[in-house]
Amino acid sequence: MLFLALTLASFVVAGASAGTGVCYGTLGDNLPSSQEVVDLFTQNNILSMRIYNQNPSALQALGGSNIEVVVGVANEDLQGIGASQDSANGWVQANILSHGNVNFKYIAVGNEIQPSDPAANSLVAAMRNIWTAIANAGLGGQIKVSTSVDTGVLDVSYPPSSGTFKSDRMWLLGPIISFLVETQAPLLVNIYPYFSYISNPQDIQLDYALFTSPSVVVQDGSMGYQNLFDAMLDAVYSALERADGGSVRVVVSETGWPSDGGTATSVDNARTYNTNLVSHVKGGTPKRPDQPIETYIFAMFDENQKSPDLEKFWGLFHPDKQPKYPITLN
Q: Looking at 254, 294, 303, 311, which residue is catalytic? A: 254
DSSP codes, 162-202? G-EE-GGGHHHHHHHHHHHHHHT-PEEEE--HHHHHHH-TT
Quick check: is 303 catalytic?
no
Q: Which residues are paired to 296 by β-bridges?
A: 21
Question: Which helix (H) or strand (E) covers residue 21, if one does?
Answer: strand 21-24
Q: Looking at 112, 241, 303, 311, which residue is catalytic? A: 112
Quick check: is 294 catalytic?
no
Task: Give the separation between CA 324 and CA 312, rounded to whole angstroms.
Answer: 13
Cα→Cα distances 261→189, 245, 306, Å: 24, 37, 12
310 class by beta-carbon count within 10 Å (0-12 exposed, 13-18 middle, 19+ buried)? middle
Report, as residue numbers or ranges, the catalytic residues. Answer: 112, 254
